Amino acid sequence: MRRCWLIACTLALPAMLTAQAPEAPAATLSLEEALAQARNHNPLFRQRLNNAATARMQLRNAYGGLLPNASVSGGMDYTGAGTASFGQGFTNATSATIGSSYSLGFSWQLDGARLLAPREQRANQRAVDEDIANEESSLKFSVTQQYLTALQAAAQVAVSRQQVERNQNFLDLASAKYRVGQGTLIEVRQAEVQKAQADVALLRSVQADNEAKIELFRRLGVQPPMAVDRIGLSDSFPVLEPAFNLDELLAQARAQNPALRALTARERSASIGVTSAKTAFLPSLSVRAGWSGFTQQQTDDGLLISQSLGGALGSASACIAQDSIRTGAGLTPVGQAGCFQNAGLDATGTQLDPTVRRRILSANSTFPFDFTKQPFSIGLTISLPVFTGFGRSLRLQQAREFAQDADESVRAQALQVDADVHSRYLALATAYKAITVQGASRDAARDQLRLAQDRYRLGSGTALEVSDAQNTVQRAEGDYVTAIYDYHKAIAALEAAVGRPLRP
């Protein structure tokens, strides 16, 4: 009686060497928070988002191609002094000149490609938006899967802790029986080995749990705010019997699957590209108009006056020589003074008139803004390419092939979506049934362990039976946890294939 009393007291006492209870997490993370963090920080998704700005600018540029182009230009130039040759030994000294110019022009071109460009770029923008939606769906599936993996790892830690407690109780029982003479030292050592193996399994489970959280934060695109063992995942998901209709899921997937929608948008853009390539066989229209002006100023005023004086003297001499002809013809002669005045010379006929000299210098002082305006110009051109070395035919054929490839990609993706939805629908049904089977197996393993413990406590069973029963229940509980999260992952995979949430 005394020995039985000691054994009972030992089993009633709390285990002194049980696994340390987990501390309450310092911070928690829900799935909704994780998805929000991923949308804001995941590098690959952020890269995909950057394409949206380019697509918007391409659409704006396409509309801008329908508007006229305007250009304004201005410039300055300098030509050094030298000697100009007119052939046959005739030369003329030239002054260094400086000049400036401006031009203001407008041009407008219109062809089939420009007319279709806004439509083509709108289709491209929709395709980019669908690509972003597809990337977001993939990111959501990836984060959800890893979140469930982390929850599964945490549940396996709980299973390992429970197994440590069972092995500690087994060790306490074996030690108590050995102390009262009802057990052997072999049984104690066996219990110690079982306890050590359970401790190692717990350490590995904790490591797997931490690694799952580290991977989760990597997919979010952020660093963990604190040690991952202090972060808990707050969401839990109910296990409900699937009540989905396969035909409805297939119809929804064909309309909402993000990857299929993205390829469909690309196929529409490619079909517009074929139409755009055909317009290369149509005429094009271009209009241009512009204003311009220039200045040119000689830097050597002395050379300019000298050349002007030489021209005036020659003009005066010619005028005087023609007076005899006028007299013979009965006309009134101009006279020497008149010839000097008409040529711009002073009364002596040897120098330029001061007024003329000032006018010449003033006319030369034009740099940089006293422009000589050129007449306004405008032109209209209609062009119809006749032969371009089969370049247009090549581009059209390439556009058609690209559109055909896009169409086949859509068809292939539609088949893939149907296959994914069908297989994941069946996988979900299988995962739900597996939960029931694994639950029954877990309950049977627990009953087996309880019976083995009772038999060992009463002395009719062996330690080996208890050890085998504990290993069996650990596997059964681990398999049950795996079945639970296989079910949740199957729902997430089906949601990704359909393209919309399926949980209530």
Mean pLDDT within 73-102: 83
91 SS3 class: strand
Domain positions in the chain are: 2-13+39-67+112-281+389-498, 69-110+286-383
Token pair of 431, please?
Answer: 């995962």
Query: What is Dmax (Cα atoms) for the chain?
Result: 173
pLDDT tens per residue across span 385-441: 888 889 999 999 999 999 999 999 999 999 999 999 999 999 999 999 999 999 999
b/e per residue 386-411 (b: at least 16 CB within 10 A): eeeeeebeebbeebbebbeebbebbe
Q: Which of 220, 226, 217, 167 is nearest to 25 (CA)?
A: 226
84 vs 451, more confident: 451
Residues 6+ apart with CB under 8 A from 407: 267, 270
18 SS3 class: coil
User: Given this model, what pLDDT does residue 248 score?
Assistant: 96
84 SS3 class: strand
Whether 301 contacts 367, CB under 8 Å: no
**Residue carrying structure tokens 């918007």:** 56
Q: How many whole angstroms separate alpha carbon 82 and alpha carbon 237?
A: 94
Terminal-residue alpha carbon distance, the chain: 59
The answer to pTM > 0.85 is no
Whether 316 contacts 292, CB under 8 Å: no
Token pair of 40, please?
Answer: 């804001």
pLDDT band at 87 (very low <50, low <70, confident <90, very high): low
Question: How many helices and strands (H and E) does the chain possess?
Answer: 12, 9
Percent of the chain at pLDDT > 90 equals: 74
Alpha-carbon distances, residue 421 vs 127, 429, 495 (angstroms): 23, 12, 9
Burial of 354 (0-12, 13-18, 19+ CB in 10 A): exposed
Q: How many whole angstroms separate alpha carbon 420 and alpha carbon 504?
A: 22
Q: How many whole angstroms separate alpha carbon 277 and alpha carbon 466?
A: 80
Q: What is the CATH number of domain 2-13+39-67+112-281+389-498?
A: 1.20.1600.10
Q: How many whole angstroms separate alpha carbon 195 and alpha carbon 173?
A: 12
Token pair of 405, please?
Answer: 């490839």
Token pair of 1, please?
Answer: 């009686």
User: Given this model, what pLDDT does residue 217 score?
Assistant: 97
b/e per residue 30-58 (b: at least 16 CB within 10 A): ebeebbebbbeebeebeebeebeeebeeb
Mean pLDDT within 362-371: 90
Asked if residue 499 has pLDDT above 80, the reply is: yes
